[in-house]
Structure 1
Amino acid sequence: MKLAVCLSLCLIAVGDFAFARPANLHIKRQKHGRDGLPSVESSSHQVRSGPVWNAHLGRREVPQEHSHEKFLTTVNQFLKTDNPDGIVDAVFGLLGNAAAAAGQGQISNTDCLQQATADRAFTNAKTAGSVEGLTAALIYRALERNTGAVGQASVACTAIQAVNPEIAAISQHQDPASANAAATNKAIVLELAVQIANIGGNPLDALQSGTFAPGQIGDPTAKGNSCDDQGDAEGCIFTQNLLVEDATEDEINAAVAASATAAPGAAATATAATSAAASAVAECTAPPAAESSAAVSSTVSSASASTTAAASTTSAAVSGSSNLDLGSCPDPTIVFADGFDGRQEKSFEPSDTTAFTHGSALNIKVITDFICQQLDVKCKASQEAIDACNAGATAAQGQTGQAAADAFNSALGF
Structure 2
Amino acid sequence: MKYQAILAFTAIGMAAAGPLPQRVKAREVPQEHSHNIFLDLVRTSLNLNNPKKIQDPVFGLLGNAAAAAGAGAVTNLDCLQQETADQAFTNAKAAGDIPGMAGALLYRAIERNTGKVGLASVLCTETAVNPEIAALSQHQDPASTNAASINKGIALTLAKQLAAIGADPLLALESGTFAPGDLNDATAKGNTCDTADDEPGCILSQNLLVLDASEAEISSAVAGITPTKFTGTLGGPAPPVESSTGSRPFSVNGNTFVNIGAAIQRSCDIQHNACANAANSGALAGGVGQCETQQSACVAANTAAKTKRAVDFGTCGSPTILFEAGLDGRNTEAFIAEDQTSYNHGSALNIAVIAGFICQRLDDSCKAAADVVASCTSASAAAVATTQNQAAADVFNSILGVGSGAGVAATTTAAAAVATAAASTTASSVVMTITQCA
For normalisation by structure 1, the TM-score amounts to: 0.50
For normalisation by structure 2, the TM-score amounts to: 0.47
